[in-house]
Amino acid sequence: MASSAGADFDLFRTTEEHDMLREAVRSLAEAKIAPFAAEVDEQGRFPHEALEALQGSDLHAVHVPEEFGGAGADALATVIVIEEVARVCASSSLIPAVNKLGSLPVQLSGSPELKAKYLGALARGEGMFSYCLSEPDAGSDAAGMKTRAVRDGDFWVLNGVKRWITNAGVSEFYTVMAVTDPEKRSKGISAFVVEKGDVGVTFGAPEKKLGIKGSPTREVYLDNVRIPADRMIGEEGTGFATAMKTLDHTRVTIAAQAIGIAQGALDYAAGYVKERKQFGRPIGDFQGVQFMLADMAMKLEAARQLTYAAAARSQRVSHGGAHEDLTFFGAAAKCFASDAAMEITTDAVQLLGGYGYTRDYPLERMMRDAKITQIYEGTNQIQRIVMARNLP
């Protein structure tokens, strides 16, 4: 497990191409996404400007392999894209992040035909992809889901409710986990691709949330949704295993989102303390403030290094390599980075004092946005259970 990590220390070293990508995404984000971030949050509207900008630069789903028309970016490049977008707008960063989450089951386990159809559509910008695992009574205990899929000739008929679905109603495609054999618990769960336009698919009202207000979170209702049998992802009964493998990879992207939010908060606070004067000099000259900034930067860099190390393992596994510690590293990166982001954004608000507490400045938004990274794709309490179970 983690004790073997030393042999792979160089796997997450960024290349010149990664550095160029970061510069390009940062420029795009600052020019075309950042100007709308506050408005998106205030109005609770989807960031269409971000989607257009990301699709225009082929950054909306960089993980899709080249053979399906995608950019074929490695896991670290995907992390960098999400990180740089989250630095200015967490809601917008959920476009590339959730596109990967929703489509990765197809990429990992889908038939060649399913991959060509849906990964190709995603790469071409014909629709976003969402991931439907959680239910009203099945959150951390995802294996306790009740959504059913019943075979009917050459079709499957799905019935149930999925809750906390990111970008629901905006996405065109949905990976849905459903029970096909109630007697087998997790081994009786299968995965399917459901389309927004399928008869019987409807959505609940958008949730009223603390943060990431520009990314709609809604229930997905499945009422006798009849889909072709070839839309099953992988073999019957393998859906839960695919879902867990997916999360091993995509928890790394949540870590990326967390460090992006934290970087944005640190950058803003560091600039502010150089300008804000009290007692005749910039508050950044005071040792107490300097210690706070040092701790923030230290935690952020530790989180980034852990996230990049996890991304390296994700890349190895994606290419058939043996990295049995991905489960540990994915959980550790997500947990550590999100905890760090919550601490860093809270301290950033503190550094601005009363100004930090107002909506005239972006830090209170960043603090609110950071909180969800400790919760979704498995709460940090669940991450600690995952890590403990994957110790040697």
Tokens read off for 320: 């058939």
Rounded CA separation 98/91 (Å): 11
CB 132 within 8 A of CB 175: yes
Q: Give the integer Cα–Cα distance in Å for 79 and 83.
A: 6
Nearby residues of 60 by Cβ (< 8 Å), 6 or more positions away: 51, 54, 95, 96, 99, 125, 128
Q: CA 58 to CA 71: how far, in whole Å?
A: 7
Between the alpha carbon of residue 109 and those of residues 103, 174, 231, the distances in Å are 10, 15, 12
Q: Which has the closest alpha carbon to 92: 159, 141, 164, 29? A: 29
- CB distance 138 to 145 below 8 Å: yes
CB 69 within 8 A of CB 122: no
Known active-site residue 235: no
What is the CA angle 356-362-364, rounded to 5? 50
Among the options 83, 84, 219, 377, which is catalytic? 377
Nearest partner of 252 among 332, 372, 367, judged by Cα:
332
**Which residues in 45-188 belong to E strands, given as ranges?**
129-132, 148-152, 155-166, 173-179
Catalytic residues: 377
